[in-house]
Structures are given as structure tokens and as C-alpha cells.
Amino acid sequence: MNQNLNNQNNNDFNMQGNNEISNNQNANNIVQPLNNNVYQNQNFQQVPNNNQNFNPKKNNKMILIVVGVVILLIVAVAIYFMFFKKEQSNRNNNQNSNSNINVNDGKDDDANDKNLENTKVVSVPGHNIYVNCSMDLRTKEQGRTVLMYSSKDKLVGLTFNKSEEYKGNLDGVVEFLSEKFLQNISNYQDGNYESSRILIESSSKTKINGFDSLKFEGKALNKSNDGEWNSYVYGYSFIINDIPVAVIGIVSDKSQETNMINEIKQNVDAIASTIRTEK
């Protein structure tokens, strides 16, 4: 009988345990769908982010490129107009010149090949006068004088006037051209030649390229805040096709050094020896 009771208790215990296991399995089965639903809900709540393609660094780079291109265009336009206005101003200055004498640089092929010289073409109404000068010399047109110089303390000028304004002979050419020449060089020389004239101290007549010429040496009074002194003057004067012309060299430096005087004499001789009416 006791054995039957034990068997019954064991059966009851086993049944109870089976029921608990069954209940736990049912609970797990219930939880699993719930978990699946939770995961599904989490996946459902993930909203696509359309702003993932937005790259602020890339957009900033594009903006900088556009701004840079615009700035370059503005600078290019400004440079173009600056040179355009400068060129137009130069044309206007040339057109407004009242000297009635044009000076143009041309090439004398033979001279350039042999002596490295530039040909200066001086156009007087109805006539042309040509001279050569070394390429080492800078040139500048000032009024009716073509300046040729290496420095402002010593220069050579080819100066002239219109034929109808001169009625004298060869001896009076330098005196006639003197005042205008000194005025024309005033901005390119040391000191001041206001109201000054070239005083000829010695002269001799000669021929250069078939033209009668007066070779002369003299001086011109120079003034500055440091006092007064006489500048050395050396040159040749001509009458070519009734036009009074002179090649004049002048040393304005107060020291009047011998090497400066010798240099100006050499330059004047070289330039005057090439004077002609045909290229």
C-alpha cells in the first residue's frame, strides 16, 4: 500500500513538473512573437535620411571656385581697361602735340649690323632728317628736340625749327635755336637754364655728308640752389632744305669733369656724322 502511495505521489510530481514545463514553453512561445514584433517595430521606425547625400564641404568648395572665377574675370577686365585707357591717352597726347614735328624710331639695317645703332627719323613738314645713335643711349622727344642720353648730367640733342621761322645764315643757327633747346632739356638736366643762351667761344666750318656745317664749342649759364656755373656745350649746326638744324651736346654736372666732356664730344661727333635726308 505504501508503494502505491509513493507511485501515486511520483505520478503527481511528474505531472506537476510536466505542467510547469508546458507552461514555460507556452510563455516562451508568447514572448518570442512579442520580441519579433518589437524588432519589427524597431525596423519599421527607421526612416530613410534623405540628407545623407548633402556634403557641406563639397558645396563650400564649389562656392570658393565660383567666387575665384568671378574675381579673376573682374581683375582681367580691370587690367584690359587700364591698358586701353593708357594707350588712348598716349594717342591723344601724340595727336595734341603742337610741335608739328614727328620723331619715329626706325632701323638702319647696315648700321645695326655694324655699329649697333638706331636710326632716328625726324619728320619736318615736307622733309625727313635721319641720324643714328648708339643703342646704349635712351631717347626722348621733347618739343622740337630729340634727346639722346645715358644720364641727365650729359646729353645730346637734335634740335631744329621750321624753315619759315628762320631767315638767317649758317652762322646764326645756334643763336636762333639756343633758347628753345635749353628750354626743351630743362626737365632732363641738373640745374636751370631759364633765360640762358648758348655762348659760342670757338667755331670752324666743315662739311658733313655733303652739308655745310658749323662746328662749335661754348657754354651756357646754369643755375641751382648751390650757385651758378657754366655748362660745357659742343656741337654742329646745319641748314638742310632751308631748315635750321643742330646737334648739340651739353654737360650740366657742376663738376664739369674732363671724362664727361670727352664722352659728350664723342657722342656728338658720332651722331652728327650720320645726319642725312635719306635713309
- Does residue 126 carry a pLDDT above 80? no
Please state the pTM of the whole predicted model: 0.59
Domain segments of the chain as ranges: 70-99, 135-272
- Does residue 226 carry a pLDDT above 60? yes
- pLDDT of 96 reads 38
The CA R_g of the chain, rounded to the nearest whole Å, is: 51
Q: Are 155 and 251 in contact (CB under 8 A)?
A: no
* Three-class DSSP labels, 77-106: HHHHHHHHHHHHHHHHHHHCCCCCCEEEEE
pLDDT tier at 135, thresholds 50, 70, 90: confident
Q: Which three cell numbers stand for residue 127?
A: 622733309
- According to the per-residue pLDDT averaged within each range, which of 20-29, 221-230, 264-273 is highest? 264-273
The answer for residues whose C-beta is within 8 angstroms of residue 270's C-beta and 6 or more apart is 132, 133, 134
CB atoms near residue 144 (< 10 Å): 22
- CA–CA distance, 268 with 265 (Å, rounded to integer): 5
CATH number for 135-272: choose from 3.40.50.1100, 1.10.357.10, 3.40.1000.10, 1.10.3720.10: 3.40.1000.10
- CA–CA distance, 79 with 76 (Å, rounded to integer): 5
* Three-class DSSP labels, 23-84: HHHHHHHHHHHHHHHHHHHHHHHCCCCHHHHCCHHHHHHHHHHHHHHHHHHHHHHHHHHHHH
Q: In the predicted model, what is the mean pLDDT of residues 121-144?
A: 78
* pLDDT one-digit tens code per residue, 70-110: 898 898 888 877 766 555 555 544 433 333 434 444 433 33
CB atoms near residue 238 (< 10 Å): 22
